[in-house]
A and B are shown apart, each in its own frame.
Chain A
Amino acid sequence: MNDLESKLSRTLNRAATQAPHAPGTLAGTVETRFRRRRRRSQALLAAAAVVVLAGGTSYALRGEDIRAVPATSATAAPVQARLTELPAPIEQVWPEAVRKTPAKLPDGRAYQARTFVDERTLLVTTEQRFEVADAVHAYDLDSGELRKIADVPVPEGTVLFASGFTIGADQVVWWTKLDDGRAQIWSAPLAGGEARIVTTHQVDGGGHESGLDGLAVAGDQVVFSINAGGVSAVPLGGGTAKPVEGGAGLHLLSWPWAGTVGMRGPEEPQFGTIRNLETGETSTALVRAGEKEMICGVTLCVGWAADGTTFQRLRDGSQEKSSPCEPSRFAPGRFCTTAVAADRRPLGVALYDTTTGRSADLGIRPQESSAPPVGKPGDPGVTGARPAVTMIETPHVEGDQPLLSYTVGDTRYVVDLRKIG
């Protein structure tokens, strides 16, 4: 080993001592995340043609003309917007949008809130075991009454359990996946009845790594996209799914919009270019050189700027500002959730309105922080004071979905984002 190599070895071992400690909650976090992912598979990677222009970047769908985006420089000052103090509680900031209900159903069962049926009614699922739905219900928030819509079948060999619950044409629609790689799309009448299979669609060769990453009802059709890319449609009444024209390789964002999800690389945004599958109109978001991990919704994009701060702006590049919203795997809508932290400790979670800049405390508090550092014999770098890590789990807001629902202790918060003025 020459001098540089010895120095490398020393430096790496010394640097390793600066790593944070694993929180005591790590195993539980991993378990939760593992189960969540089994149920709802993560969007996998789909490549798109990428063209880099001098000073700016433009993205185009495969096989499509490249649309140049002029390079412009950011006008906003590079100051990271951060919430360092808890804002006022959400029930004070947006009282009209918040309802608090018991975390459990009147009969004591736990449930998952899926979406709104109407202003006062939630579509909920009960579970036979953790994250495995056994029935879908309408839950009246005013009266507390629970009306069963349908049993949720779990066919032999199911590896991804009922996910993607959505409502359209008076039907509730969801999907599951079998271990042979076939996804099943189900529907049940909202008024109540039996679940039936709309279609069975081969997604991959098997396993629980991938499934559907978008599902919606459009008129009398069910439209969906798969993790590997590709938008298809099938009549709600049943049949064989057929590819939607112009939707090859794309992922459903919000019908009729679908786009590329990108490689999660430093340069390629998710949903940077989207296409309206009804009209063929495309929209390409502005990307500046050096920006990373950008993800867009139908109107808004968030990402990391070259200076290390997070920004938000409209797809066309206007209304750019520093934002406490961080890019995540969820396409941004008007609202985001973000951890509030001060002195490197999380204090809670806030709901942030990207339009007005207002924020509210969701009432969630951090999990217990990890135990003090304990060295493991034989590991390098067990000496030295390293900071412990505290974690806080935050609910997410997905695109322009109106429902944000989470529990704090015995209370379930149901936030109707449409009611925030």
Chain B
Amino acid sequence: MRRCNSFPAGLLWEVKQPTKGEKHVEPDSRFAEFVAERGDALLRYGYVLAGNPHDAADLVQEALVKLRAAWPRLRSKDNPESYARTTMARLHIATWRLRRREHLAWALPEGEHHDALPAGDERDLWQALAGLPRRQRAVVVLRYYEQLTDTEIAGVLGISRGTVRSQVSRALDKLRAALPPPDDRVPARHLHSDAGRGEAR
């Protein structure tokens, strides 16, 4: 798999408060390096999560602001990228809308992002993904883009493994129903399959 998800569950909500008397945090060049190196990857992740470049950009910015706040308190074993990705997934679900609230305009291309998707199946599927509720979409992205196990997804989203499975199942049902050709319809029980997924990596 591409990345190692080594953050402790609940890290987001358990970072310790600033110590007494801590005042100003100087900019950290390692943070800037992290953003420069991983910004594009986070945008790609944000794009598949949100489905459009505007919300993707907002998700990334908001997650990075939170990461920046936590940066001095991250322990060496914490993985900042996991932290950012977890934040993005949670933000995406939390009926979260931050469009331009800081008044930063991103001059983003309009209408281009569908063009390079090949016509046919993938395009239909991408469009069908837009019809999923946020949590279902997040679960799908975490499973099929991030390649996380159900246990890991449960940790990222702070939900039970059973909920992860039921959300995936419902999402797949919806996607299948939304796709035009019924040729590849498979029995519903296959949709719950965890075959090939190690629960503890």
Contacts and interface: CB of A to CB of B under 8 A. Distances in A.
A134 to B, nearest CB: 13
B44 A10 contact: no
A72 B105 CA distance: 32
B40 to A, nearest CB: 5
Interface in A237-287: 263-266
A389 B106 contact: yes
Contacts of B43: 19-22
Interface string A145-189: 000000000101111000000000000000000010000000000
B184 interface: yes
A387 B22 contact: no
A5 B68 CA distance: 35
Contacts of A341: 105, 107
Pick the most buried of B53, B60, B144: most chain A CB atoms within 10 A of its CB. B144
A76 B36 CA distance: 44
Given A20-B108, A30-B64, A266 B48 contact: no
Contacts of A379: 2, 40-41, 44
A106 B162 CA distance: 66
Contact of A18 (B24, B27, B47, B129): B47
Contacts of A10: 122
Contacts of B184: 3-4
A408 interface: no
Contacts of B103: 328, 330, 337, 393-396
A376 B105 contact: no
A329 interface: yes
A391 B105 contact: yes
B159 interface: no
B117 A15 contact: yes
Nearest to A132: B24
Interface residues of B, number: 75
Interface in A32-51: 33-34, 36-38, 42
Pick the most buried of B43, B61, B112, B175: most chain A CB atoms within 10 A of its CB. B43
A40 to B, nearest CB: 11
Nearest to A393: B104
Given A19-B56, A392-B107, A12 B141 contact: yes
Interface in A352-378: 366, 373, 376, 378
A293 B18 contact: no
Pick the most buried of B21, B44, B99, B179: most chain A CB atoms within 10 A of its CB. B44
Interface in B79-130: 95-110, 112-114, 116-118, 121-122, 125-126, 129
Contact of A381 (B35, B44, B107): B44
Interface in B1-42: 2, 17-18, 20-24, 27, 31-32, 35-37, 39-42
B138 interface: no
B77 interface: no
Nearest to B46: A19
B69 A29 contact: no
Given A8-B144, A26-B35, A30-B35, A387 B186 contact: no
A2 B190 CA distance: 8
A344 interface: yes
Contacts of A384: 116
Contacts of A1: 196
Contact of A328 (B48, B65, B101): B101
Interface pairs A-B: 8 shortest CB-CB: A22-B39, A19-B47, A339-B105, A329-B101, A265-B95, A16-B44, A27-B35, A27-B32
